[in-house]
Amino acid sequence: MSETVDRQRRSASRAAREIYMDALEAIRADRLVYAALTRMGDRLHLGEETFDLRGFRNIYVVGAGKAGTGMAQAVEERLGDDLTEGVVVTKHGHAGPTGRVRLLEAGHPIPDDGSLRAGEAIHALASRAGAEDLLICLISGGASALMELPREGVSLPDLQATTGALMRAGATIHDLNTVRACLSRLKAGGLARAAAPARTVCLVLSDVLGSPLEVIGSGPCVEVAVDPAAARAILERYGVWEAVPESVRTLLERLKTQTADTPSLEERAPHHHIIGDIWTALTAAREAAIRRGLKPAILTGMLQGEAREAGKVCAAIARDLPRTAPQTGIDCYLLGGETTVTVRGEGRGGRSQEIACVASAMLSGVEGVALLAGGTDGTDGPTDAAGGWADSRTLERARARGWTPEAALQNSDSYAYLQAAESLLITGPTHSNVGDLVIMVYRP
């Protein structure tokens, strides 16, 4: 093998990309559903629950999320002719072939007309379910925007304006979904109430840190009280209370005097099964690194905060690898989580792209080190990139085309910067979503 080919095979950036792709393969939604949902004859097993399929008149499937296609396909495979009907919505461009499940597409991260059509169709099918029926609900990241049925007095433009204002202000997913739960008839247990008294079970692919069920997809099958006071406080804290539509402010004021929703689900409360989360991806990435002769360590599954600030910390750790690796034996660090971006300009980018953009300046000239940051859904922000990577030459390539990281960050244009540096990470839809990965590799 030539020295040039050997260097290419051993390069840090190549290894980081391979580790990332192996992690994506391990978190494919269809694989996770197959592992969680097994069948022996007429008995369907999910965790400690067993369902005798002969005991149900109808078996319905509903769901929403970026992993909707893979989840729906796997459930169809398991149920076969026992599946009566289904409606699942995923992001535009993420749909795939299904049989008895009608697969819809809608907007993300901002809801669109497709989100309303999906919300209406899913609510209608759930409402048809009776006491002798089984409803299987599939929830993954993105469900909050993809499946919408607003409360009376709130329109789609109202939802879009409120979501957009919070996202531009850098709101966390927890804060965003606290507000959205107050504006929707499907969130905060609304879908489960529509399906009652059917038996409902939920398969959840979590993209939220810590996997709180009431936050994932805004908890469509979790009976929790909506909190209009908390929603208002969030809007005020991000400085957008006066910017959101009057109808939203009016609704939050009106909800103060009402209970969350009725009736209670009581003993028919759905059981939830988390079939994958960021630790599924981190564990797979660790195993992929070991297979490549690296000695990895997982630093955290709770990476959060402003993306550019998180990027500085991650890049500092990566920059020190040539010094620390000989001492510790660790030549690969892995982090997972979800940061936020406060939009500062008219450019394009996302959380992971900002991390890579920041890292490119700090890793300039540091040989043998690479940092990759990528979302596990294949789309980072409103772009076609999953993220990006940085190595010793990224800054040099970008500067040769007239770009600096400072200019890119000032205009929230990390996409254009990484594109100029030939460092965009583009995968296409992954049919999964468990958060973001940061992979740092040292290969001298």
CATH number for the domain spanning 257: value is 3.40.50.10180
293 and 217 fall within a common domain:
no
118 and 13 fall within a common domain:
no
Q: Which CATH number characterizes residue 359's domain? A: 3.40.1480.10
* 326 preceded by a cis bond (ω within 30 of 0): no
| pLDDT score of 27 | 97
| pLDDT score of 6 | 40
334 and 268 fall within a common domain:
no
8 and 36 fall within a common domain:
no
| pLDDT score of 161 | 96
Q: Could you tell me which residues come within 8 angstroms of residue 266 by beta carbon, excluding any fewer than 6 positions away?
A: none
Domain boundary among 276, 310, 343: 276
230 and 340 fall within a common domain:
no
Q: What is the pTM of this model?
A: 0.90
Rounded CA-CA distance 341/354 in Å is: 8
427 and 360 fall within a common domain:
yes
173 and 259 fall within a common domain:
yes
Q: How far is CA 309 from CA 165, 348, 409, in A?
A: 22, 18, 12
Domain boundary among 276, 294, 324: 276
Q: How far is CA 240 from CA 28, 150, 232, in A?
A: 37, 20, 10
- For helices 321-328 and 307-319, angle between their N-to-C axes, nearest 10 degrees: 60
- Identify the CA nearest to 408 among candidates 340, 347, 342, 341: 347
* 109 preceded by a cis bond (ω within 30 of 0): yes
Domain boundary among 231, 253, 276: 276
| pLDDT score of 28 | 96
Q: How crowded is residue 57: how many other Cβ atoms within 10 Å of its Cβ?
A: 12
- Written as six digits, the tokens of 86 are 């289904």
183 and 299 fall within a common domain:
no
The β-bridge relationship of strands 49-52 and 43-46 is antiparallel
The answer to whether the CB of 149 falls within 8 A of the CB of 187 is no
Dihedrals phi, psi of 345, to nearest 5 degrees: -160, -165
Q: What is the pLDDT along the chain (444 residues), one digit of tens a residue?
A: 345 434 543 599 999 999 999 999 999 999 999 999 999 999 999 989 999 999 999 999 999 999 999 999 999 999 999 999 999 999 999 999 999 999 999 999 999 999 999 999 999 999 999 999 999 999 999 999 999 999 999 999 999 999 999 999 989 989 999 999 999 999 999 999 999 999 999 999 999 999 999 999 999 999 888 889 999 999 999 999 999 999 999 999 888 654 444 455 666 789 999 999 999 999 999 999 999 999 999 999 999 999 999 999 999 999 999 999 999 999 999 999 999 999 888 899 999 999 999 999 999 999 999 999 999 999 998 899 999 999 999 999 999 999 999 999 999 999 999 999 999 999 999 999 999 999 999 999
The answer to whether the CB of 401 falls within 8 A of the CB of 128 is no
- DSSP conformation class of 269: P
The β-bridge relationship of strands 134-140 and 59-64 is parallel
- Identify the CA nearest to 150 among candidates 263, 248, 258: 248
Q: How far is CA 92 from CA 89, 95, 108, 148, in A?
A: 9, 7, 8, 15
Torsion 293-295-301-307 (CA) sign: negative
- Structural domain containing residue 283: 3-23+279-442
Dihedrals phi, psi of 268, to nearest 5 degrees: -90, 15
232 and 287 fall within a common domain:
no
43 and 9 fall within a common domain:
no
Give per-residue burial for 362-377: e unless 16+ CB within 10 Å, then b: bbbebebbbbbbbbbb
334 and 413 fall within a common domain:
yes
**Residue 325 CA to chain centroid, in angstroms?**
32
HEC per residue, 110-179: CCCHHHHHHHHHHHHHHHHCCCCCEEEEEEECCHHHHCCCECCCCCHHHHHHHHHHHHHCCCCHHHHHHH
- In degrees, to the nearest 5, what angle opens at C-alpha 366 toward C-alphas 364 and 370? 85
| pLDDT score of 3 | 53
- Written as six digits, the tokens of 66 are 């970026």
Q: Could you tell me which residues come within 8 angstroms of residue 152 by beta carbon, excluding any fewer than 6 positions away?
A: none
| pLDDT score of 128 | 96
| pLDDT score of 265 | 61
* 263 preceded by a cis bond (ω within 30 of 0): yes
Report how many domains make up the chain: 2
| pLDDT score of 226 | 87
Query: Which of helix, strand or coil describes residue 86?
Result: strand
The β-bridge relationship of strands 134-140 and 199-205 is parallel
Radius of gyration of the chain from its Cα atoms, rounded to whole angstroms: 23
Long-range contacts for 328-332 (Cβ within 8 Å, ≥24 apart)?
329/295, 330/295, 330/296, 330/297, 331/294, 331/295, 331/296, 331/441, 331/442, 331/443, 332/15, 332/19, 332/289, 332/294, 332/295, 332/296, 332/297, 332/439, 332/440, 332/441, 332/442
Q: How far is CA 417 from CA 294, 399, 400, 402, in A?
A: 30, 9, 11, 9
312 and 247 fall within a common domain:
no
